[in-house]
Amino acid sequence: MLNKITYKFRLYPNKEQRKILEQTLQTCRILYNNLLAERRDTYKKTGCSPSCYEQTMSLVEKKTDNPYMREVHSQVLQDVTRRLQRTFENFFDRTKKKKEGKWKGKIGYPRFKGRNRYDSFTYPQYGNGCKITGRKLSLSKIGSIRIVQHRPIEGTIKTCIIRRDIDRWYACFLVKTPATVVEMKHPKSRVGVDLGLESLITLSNGEKIEPTKYLRKLQKKLRREQRRLSRKKKGSNNREKQRIKLAKVHRKVRLQRTDFNHKLSHMLVNRFDLIAFERLSIKNMLQNHHFAKSIADASWYQLQTFTSYKAAEAGKSVKFVDPYRTTTDCSRCGFHVPKTLSERIHKCPNCGFTLDRDWNSAINILSRVGWGTAESTPVEIEPLPLPQRKEASSVAESGSP
């Protein structure tokens, strides 16, 4: 069995290489739209659309009519057809689920890609058109681009995705490694983690980490840039410049949040052998318009994801438990104590136990995992320091630490 890991490195192309990269994206985007239109029109006329194989075979003929396609590596163009095929497979899967009553949202027929809606292209075979040579990434039809490889790649590289992030470029390598991680049967240290908004996380030993609120801290700037964008004439150069300014503010929030979650998850994995979370339905929780912005800014799902894969690599364990009544049950006697959101202290009328609401919940989360019993009093352990908050660290820019 193999594990799939993605390594993300920053690229530094020169002006000429930037033009070629942008042109490659444009060529792939136009090809994607043409193939989508071909499927749609053919289906309307004949009731049957061309397959992925047929469209891939037609690329040779399309190259003779389009000189821009000749400037793009053949396998990059072939991957565009496979990308469109996956889009239709997802569409048919949603259609099937809709008929079975398992899909509540819109089905979403595949859409044409706008100018700023196509940001990546793929070399499906590493070594065929794409290869790292020293401090350069050699790309067929593009040239050798300087790459900052901040960590060694362990495993076999399968594919390479070149991705644009506003004005930055990244290379993402999909690597397969043997799955040799063995889960610990008897963890020495364990902790329950309660996710919240007043406190980002509360541990079962009583420690708390305050929420970062990166989005709210830049809310004023975001509103100002958004107002400036709305005043610009559509299609003008000034509007495009302002769109990039606004996108950079959003990117700053994203990188800050990602950097913080990487550091926090790393600390949790370093300290504990078993980490227990609630299995929250975050997608449904975002439907509450009173808390949606705060929940999105807290980025619970990202923290859980980072902690899970870091624990797997370290040979440790992350468990997800049923969140039902973790907040309302007493962690000492199990008595059900209903609470409103405004009640921040747990007071049990049955046994008289009084504790912080989130702390009580974290203890219940740990007790549901099945390894021993949770402690209801603080454990003498080294306090968890806050991760250093950087606006856009090199870790966040170039990938996971």
Task: List pLDDT tens digits, range 2-27.
Answer: 688 899 999 999 999 999 999 999 99
The answer on 197 and 169 residing in a single domain is no
Domain assignment present for 386? yes
How many domains does the chain fold into? Answer: 2
Secondary element (H or E) of residue 132: strand 130-133
What residues contact residue 332 under an 8 Å CB cut-off, 6+ apart? 348, 351, 353, 376
The answer on 137 and 198 residing in a single domain is no
Residue ending a domain, among 146, 178, 210, is 178
Domain assignment present for 311? yes
Distance CA 318, CA 192 (A): 10
The answer on 204 and 116 residing in a single domain is no
Domain assignment present for 217? yes
pLDDT for the residue numbered 224: 97
The answer on 224 and 118 residing in a single domain is no
Distance CA 167, CA 348 (A): 56
The answer on 135 and 19 residing in a single domain is yes
What residues contact residue 148 under an 8 Å CB cut-off, 6+ apart? 9, 10, 11, 12, 398
Kindly report the pTM of this predicted structure. 0.84
Domain assignment present for 184? no
pLDDT for the residue numbered 185: 62
List the domain range (segments joined by +) for residue 53: 2-178
Domain assignment present for 183? no
pLDDT in tens, the chain (401 residues): 568 889 999 999 999 999 999 999 999 999 999 999 999 999 999 999 999 999 999 999 999 989 999 999 999 999 999 999 999 999 999 999 999 988 888 899 999 999 889 999 999 999 999 999 999 999 999 999 999 999 999 889 999 999 999 999 999 999 998 765 555 667 788 999 999 999 999 999 999 999 999 999 999 999 999 999 999 999 999 999 999 999 999 999 999 999 999 999 999 999 999 999 999 999 889 988 999 999 999 999 999 999 998 998 888 899 999 999 999 999 888 899 998 988 999 999 988 889 999 999 999 999 998 743 333 333 333 334 444 433 333 433 444 33
pLDDT for the residue numbered 182: 54
The answer on 133 and 21 residing in a single domain is yes
Distance CA 77, CA 89 (A): 19
The answer on 253 and 170 residing in a single domain is no
Axis crossing angle, helix 15-46 with helix 74-99, rounded to the nearest 10:
50
Tell me the backbone φ, ψ of residue 275, rounded to 5 degrees.
Answer: -125, 125
Decide: 331 and 353 in contact? Cβ < 8 Å: yes
The answer on 258 and 169 residing in a single domain is no
Residue ending a domain, among 178, 200, 220, is 178
What residues contact residue 354 under an 8 Å CB cut-off, 6+ apart? 345, 346, 347, 348
Distance CA 36, CA 137 (A): 31
Residue ending a domain, among 125, 152, 178, is 178
The answer on 240 and 166 residing in a single domain is no
- CB burial of residue 282 (10 Å; 0-12, 13-18, 19+): middle
The answer on 377 and 302 residing in a single domain is yes
Distance CA 279, CA 304 (A): 10
pLDDT for the residue numbered 180: 55
The answer on 198 and 173 residing in a single domain is no
Q: Which positions are annotated as active-site residues?
A: 194, 278, 358
The answer on 333 and 286 residing in a single domain is yes
Residue 237 in tokens: 């150069």
Residue 86 in tokens: 């996956």
Domain assignment present for 185? no
Burial code of 321-355, b = ≥16 C-beta within 10 A, e = fewer?
A: bebeebbbbbbbeeeebeeeeeeeebebeeeebeb
